[in-house]
Each structure stands twice: as C-alpha cells, then as structure tokens.
Structure 1
Amino acid sequence: MQPGAVLILPCETRVREFDAKLLLGMLTAAAGGVAIVGSKKPIDLSLSRFPPGIYVGKSLTARSRHNLAIARACGHRVVLWDEEGLVWASPEVYWKTKVDPETLNAPELLIAWGEDNAQVWRDHPDYAGPPIEALGNPRADLLTPRLRSLFEAEVGSIRATHGRFILINTNFSRVNHLQPRQNRHLKWLREKRPDDPRGGFAAHKFELFQAFSDMVPELARRLPEVHFVVRPHPSEKRQTWEHVAAGFDNVSVAQHGNVVAWLLASDGLIHNGCTTAVEAFQLDRPAIAFRPVRSARYDHALPNDISLAAADLDELAGLVERASADSAALFSEQAGSESRQVMRAALAGFGEHGLASERIVARLGQLSEQGSIHGARSRWMPAVLAFRRLLRLLEQRLPGTANYRPYLAHMFPDIDQAEVEQSLRQMASCLDIAPVPRVRELETNVFRLEPA
C-alpha cells in the first residue's frame, strides 16, 4: 500500500460492523496506510475534511447513491460491498429491496462476500460491468480461530450471567422496528401491489414474525429446564420480545454486544433465514432453522440450507434438547460435506488460513497506487456538508427520522479512544503485529489509525 494512502471505513451498526472495520483499519495502518474508522453519520458529513482516499461504502441501496456522489465530489475513490449481501431471498427480491441500479454501477470496485454474492450482482439486468472481486468480508475474519480469543472476556461475562442457554436470534426489524416509521414491510403489506415482490416478501416475513412470537413462550413452557436468550436484531424494538417473554423465568432478552460472543457462549442457535446461522457454522455451533412456513421465493436460502430444520414445535423441541445435551455432536451432524460446499460458494476463503481483511488491504493498496481522482474535488462540497450538518442537528430532535439522536445512540453507542486502543492491542496480539498502530480521535466515535 502507498505510504499514507487513506481508507475511509464508515460503520452504521456498531455491534455488527465496528470491530471488523477496526481490524481492517489496523491492517491498513500496519501496511503503511491510514484508516478513518467510525460511525457512518459523522464520517459522511466530514468527507470534505479528509485527505483524498478510498471511501468503502456498505450497501448498494438508492440511499447510498447520494453518499457515494458526495464522496466522489470530495475527491475520494469509491469502493462498495454490501453488508447484507451474504444472505438474501431470491435474486429478484434482493435486487428489488437491496440493489439500486445506479449504485451498483457507481464504484470502481465491488467487493463480494463470495462467488454467490458476486454472481447475483453480475446477473442483475442493469449491471454495466464495474469490476467485481470475491474477497470476503472482515466480519468473517473475527470468527476464525486466530481471532476468537478477542471475545473471551465477553463470553465469560455472558456465561456468568446466563449460564448455559440456547440463543434465539430474530431478524424482524422491518415489521418490529425501533422507530415505527421505519416498519417498511408493514407499509408494503398495506400497499398490496401485485406487481411488486416486496409485498409478498413482507407478508411472508410478517407470518414468520408471528410464528416466532408464538414459539418463544411455547418452547419455554415445554422445556422449563432449558434457558433461552432472545437476541433481537439491533434495529428491532426490544420491548416487543420482553412482552413475549414475560412470565417465563427461563427466557431472557438481550440486545447488547457482538453476536459472536453470544454464539460462542451458547449451546446452539434458533433462527430463520438469519446471517447468524452462517456465523454459527464458522464457530462450530449448531443452528436450527425454525420453518413453520416456507417460500421458495422469499426464504433466505443460505442460512436455512446449512442448518438443521424444524417444521414445527415438536421437531424444534427435540433438536433443542439434543443441542443442550451434546452441542458438538449435533453440529457434526449438521456440518456435512454438502453444507461445507455451500459455505465455500457463499464465503470467499472459507476454511482457509488467510483473512479477508488481508486480501482487501492488498487489493485496495493497488487501487491507492493510482492516486486521487484528478480534478474531482468540488469547492462547493464543504458548504454543502456544513448545511447537511445543520440539518442533522434539527433532525436529531425529530422522532422517526434516520438522524433521531436516541436511535443513533442505540445503533452506535459511544466508544472512546481508550477502548479502541485496547481492541487494537488485542487484535495485534492475536495476529503477531507489532508495533500497534497509533490512534487519534477526530470527533466523537470517529478515529484515525496510522502507522506507529
């Protein structure tokens, strides 16, 4: 990597993305570059203040298109991956809900989780040919044996609080969102547009949400000796699940911390179409897909295909009892050669020693050698972003907006420089990297990493 080359790594959801991008930033600094890592909102509003670099966007939605245009106008090269590109329903539904044609064709490079993700982009009817490389994602690196020790203290704390348990992970943020105005699936249900696959997807998701809401208390009633921890999606309304679990001493609801620690602490996972099943597979934890309703068009195939399936409560209770009795034996049954083949197609580097972060740093290092975008830095961008910062101050007081202060604090709780430095020391120790990169806090929740 060119000395001083800058990578800009915005994170929307701290518990899902920050540790992984901190790892990517550390390897960038270890290679001689500079990384700016932190909360997406303040980073996007400060793009004109950073030296020209490579902006790594996190989604291919229409909303991302505007941020990419601003990044380019501030002189940055643009690279994209999709944090939700690992798990999706049919290509048609994924394209309709997660892929904007202009955004798909905007970057200089698209980084895919694996070949399946790369192919669904190539197959998009509006794909115009930007380079696609299946390099993986730093989130998968945290699950490798080399880095699992990062979560030892958190795993110990979870086990001290909850003992042995089965994790129930939910992913119903679009019907049970923390901010009611963001319940998009309910909006699609009301519209009932026959030409729009989002309506059918929403109906299927809502049916699953109701099934999970009924399943939790019934399972707790049938298996009183088993403790269950319900972990809602970070954007979900936690109180909904607390109401569902009310009255059961063997059910807890927890939404904090990285899911990796919760998976490592558990005896197994219950889900439907959730990315955590892929993560559980990488951590050698059994995953049970509760599938009381099925749809070839709307189910998320990857996590369900690599999991043990339960069509009803009887089957689910039987698998939970087996996970509680011998988690390793149940995972051995789940993780056959067919499942591992599916994982290799979905996740670049699955089962290999190298890290996705190492591959990404090497590839972006090549891109950085091309320098900045000549003549692309708009002199008007500082004023435009100053206006957007003022607008954000107003929206922070308005419930339901994407900038509402309590919502942003929920999605990205504050982290200070000392915590970042401690995480970097642990990561560096796991990977035998010395010296540890220097850290400087640029503003709240935004950090600059550079060579020591």
Structure 2
Amino acid sequence: MKTRASPLIIPVESQVRELDAKILLSCIAAERGFPVIMGSRAYAHFQVASVPRGIYLAKSMRGLSSSMFKILRQLGHEIVAWEEEALVHPPSETYFSLRLSPKTIKNVSHVFAWGQENVDLLRQYPALPENMPIHITGNPRGDMLRSEIRPYFAPEVEELRSRYGDFILINTNFSDVNPYIPSVGLFLPTKAPSKPARLGQSGIGMSKEFAEGLRAHKLSVLEDFKQLIPMLEQAFPELTIIVRPHPSESYQIYHQIAAKCSRVVITNQGNVIPWLLAAKAMVHNGCTTGLEAYVLDVPAISYLATLNKYYDYDFQGLPTKLSYQCFNFEELAEILSQILKGEMGAADGQERQDLIDYFLTAQKGPLACERIVDVLEASGYSKGQPPAKPLGVYLQGWLFTKLKAGLTNLYMRRPGPNRLAYHNHRFPGISVEEIEQKIARFGDLLKRFDKIKVAPYAKHVFRISA
C-alpha cells in the first residue's frame, strides 16, 4: 500500500511579499510528493478542519497565534514555523515579548531559520522548548533574490521600465503610525485624549516605553519622508518618483502628496523585487527592502534625517548598515547624483558581506525551499501523516474552528474600517490561471514543474499537486 505524505498547508498573509516565494516552495514540495494547500491565511484557517492531518507552515510564533495553533494541534496537524520578521528585529528582550510566545512556540515541531543570527537569537529565548529543532535553511523569500531566480521577474522589470522610464523608488515602512486600519498600528486610537492609549496589533508585546519611543521616532521619520518626496521630484526633474508604501500602510497621505506633484506615483503593485531591479536607486529608512536591494546589487540609501541610534541601529539596523546612509537631503541628493552618473554602484565591502552572510543563508547551493523540504522528508512527513488525536480532542478542535471562522467572518464585515477590506488589500483575488502562469515561469527558468497541477480548494485557497 502506497504511503500517504502529510499535506502541507502554506498560508499567505501579504500576497505581494510572500506569494511568489510560497508558490516556489509549494511546487518543490508537490514535486517531492507532498499535497499542498496554499492560499490566503485567513481563508486557509477557515478550511483547516477539512484538510487531512498534515503540516501547517506558520510565518510567526506570536502570542496572537496561540489560539489558532491550539486548534491546529487539536485537529491533528503539526506545526512548523519560521519567523517572518527575523531579519529586522528589535533588541532581544523586546523581540522575545513581541514576536514569540511560550504558549505558541510549545506547539511548534520544527523551526526554519533565515541564517545563523536567527538561530543565535532564538537560542537565547528563555521559553524555547528543550531540544527544539532549529534548522538553518534560509527562507523562500531569500530564494527569490538569487541570481538564477531573478529572471523570473524579467517581464515585470521590462514593463516597469517601459511604463515609468528612469525612476527612484521610495519604500516606506510606517504601518506602526500610518496603518491601513487603526487596529494594526502601534496604538489604538483613543476618543478621550485624557485616557492612555492601548497597544495595537503591532505593539502587543512591547513595553509601553519602547512603543511610545518608537511611535515618536516613526512619526518624525514619516514627516521627513513627506517632505522628501516632493523635494526629490524637484531635484531630479528627469526622473519619476515611485512611492511604494508598506502593505499594511494607509496610502492616503501619499496620495495627498502625489496630487500636488506631477511625477510622483503611489503604488504597491506586485512583488517589490522587480521594482528594485527596475529602479535607478532605492530610498528607505530601516526597511527590509534595503537588505533585498543589497543582495540584488541595487543602490540603496537609508535616509536618516531624524536619527535615533537605538531605533535606527539596534532595531532596524541591518537594512541601514547594508545601505548608504544619508543624514540630510543634501547628502542624499549628492549620492543619488553620483549613482545616476554611474560613479557609484550598490553599497559593498567585506563588512557588509560578512553581515549578510551571518543573517541570510542559502545564497548559494541548494535553494532554501529545497532545504526546507529536505527537513520535512527527514522528519518522516513524506512517509505518513501525524497521528490522529482522540475523538474528543478532534471534535473540540473542529468546533473551535467553526466558531473562530464565524467570528472572523462577522468581524470582517463590521461597518467602518474592517478586516475584509484589509484582507482584500493584502490578498486580492487571484485565479488558478494566474498561479499556473507563475508556475510555468518558474518551470521555464528551472526546467522543472511540468507535472505540477493547480486546482481551487476553497475561496482564496488552492490545491497544488504533482
């Protein structure tokens, strides 16, 4: 009798940031015998009771996920995880309370690390379960930066250059203080100014002191960028200025700026990688795209007109250290001018290379996706499913799944800023045909995946198999 591999559930929260990489992982897993269920994180959660016992691939281990992790385990699924935000993180004490939870991590069977720094950080966590397997595999998002994968984005790069000509890309990351919906910011809005503000989704786990300091700093930097955008347009009249807000940010303030300019475009369309490859240079402030630009050999500048060494270096230091650093507009304009003249390329040097090597593995050799599937196979998941839970435990998980799905659906449809709009902003509808086209592009590039099939599983969720 043929053994049945564990299904692999791969949730996607931010489509523009995660989807391409997770399609690649899905194809490699399916090619090696794993049935894959991939799609919107929220809608995948609605379906977990209908998926045969398998492996759920989590993108974080925050306390906010503790109830979902408990449900998954009650249903008989096992959980493997990586930490999506591990490359740009606050000092360890804040990171542990912000991004990790004893209740959540105890339900995880394996952790996939971006690199050695990620391992060193996790090993310091006081509540790390004894003998927790941490595998240095790299991350599928890192695979998308590799030289042999970059041609995947060639059509988008060509189209962007044709549409916008030469452009400077500005990537913002102010969702803490400029959130798409109020609840995901650092603090929840207060109706009474006299009442202390409660922490929002991105602040849960931070100390009040850290969160208040971060809010003040982010608001100052946001003001710097609001001034920077029109100044760049004036200083470089031959270029278009593309502003790409963070996926969790509100676009309103940027559209207000663009309305007063003639060559400023606000967009969050597609994966950031083709935008980086098409840009003449990229400007940011402590954004992960600074790291991505470095790996892609794209000139990146961290704009530090308002400098707080604690938040800019100890918290968001990696992308800044991998970029040129400018502390006023005059410095920024001068560096950009030299880049545009071809006198300067991307930031380089041995110190930066050592830094990226410490944080990011799988830059060469087997893809991170392959290494992750290697671990799944070595752990026995390709030979069978996790053991069934007692019927009472399973029924409890099934009931909680339905209850949680019902409550989430109600919450999504509340009047005003709601989760449905936020979900659709981060995971707009995508068809089977569009996913097939992406797989075909990977297949042409890597000379594989010709047997991969895609079928709808549920709304916003797909089955990928070989």
Q: Same fold (TM over 0.5)?
A: yes
101-110 or 335-344: bigger deviation: 101-110
Is 2:27–2:449's contact at 8 Å kept on the other side of the alignment?
Answer: no
How many residue pairs were aligned?
Answer: 446
**Rounded Cα–Cα distance in structure 1 between residues aligned with 2:145 and 2:120:** 24
Structure 2 residue 292 is the aligned partner of structure 1 residue 279: yes
Give aligned-pair identity as a percent.
Answer: 33
**Rounded Cα–Cα distance in structure 1 between residues aligned with 2:141 and 2:305:** 30
2:360 maps to which residue? 347
Q: Structure 1: which 4+ aligned runs deviate by more than 4 Å? A: 185-195
Choose from 407, 420, 430 the match for 1:391: 407
Q: Structure 2 vs 1, CA of residues 218 and 96 (structure 1 numbering), >3 Å: closer, same or farther?
A: farther
Secondary structure at the aligned position of 1:88 is classed as coil
Secondary structure at the aligned position of 2:413 is classed as coil
Question: Residues 25-424 of structure 1: matches in 2 within 5 Å?
Answer: 25-129=26-130, 130-185=132-187, 190=197, 196-299=209-312, 300-326=316-342, 329-331=344-346, 334-350=347-363, 352-367=364-379, 368=381, 369=383, 371-375=385-389, 378-399=394-415, 404-424=419-439
1:185, distance to aligned residue in structure 2 (A):
4.5
Give the residue type in structure 2 aligned to 1:444.
K
**Rounded Cα–Cα distance in structure 1 between residues aligned with 2:101 and 2:20:** 27
**Rounded Cα–Cα distance in structure 1 between residues aligned with 2:64 and 2:416:** 17
CA deviations 1:377-431 (Å, max 9, x no partner) are 6123333222333323322221467x63222111100011111111111112211
Is 1:77–1:373's contact at 8 Å kept on the other side of the alignment?
Answer: no
**Rounded Cα–Cα distance in structure 2 between residues aligned with 1:144 and 1:29:** 22
Give the residue type in structure 1 aligned to 2:24.
L
1:18, distance to aligned residue in structure 2 (A):
1.2
2:22 maps to which residue? 21
1:434, distance to aligned residue in structure 2 (A):
4.4
1:374, distance to aligned residue in structure 2 (A):
4.1
**Rounded Cα–Cα distance in structure 2 between residues aligned with 1:295 and 1:144:** 33
Is 2:14–2:426's contact at 8 Å kept on the other side of the alignment?
Answer: yes
1:190, distance to aligned residue in structure 2 (A):
4.5
**Rounded Cα–Cα distance in structure 2 between residues aligned with 1:134 and 1:199:** 34
Is 2:53–2:388's contact at 8 Å kept on the other side of the alignment?
Answer: no
Structure 1, unmatched stretches of 5+, are none
**Rounded Cα–Cα distance in structure 1 between residues aligned with 2:78 and 2:288:** 29
1:221, distance to aligned residue in structure 2 (A):
2.4
Is 1:176–1:237's contact at 8 Å kept on the other side of the alignment?
Answer: yes
Calculate the TM-score normalised by the size of structure 2.
0.90
Q: Aligned-residue CA RMSD in angstroms?
A: 2.3
Q: Structure 2 vs 1, CA of residues 191 and 22 (structure 1 numbering), >3 Å: closer, same or farther?
A: closer
Give the residue type in structure 1 aligned to 2:65.
S
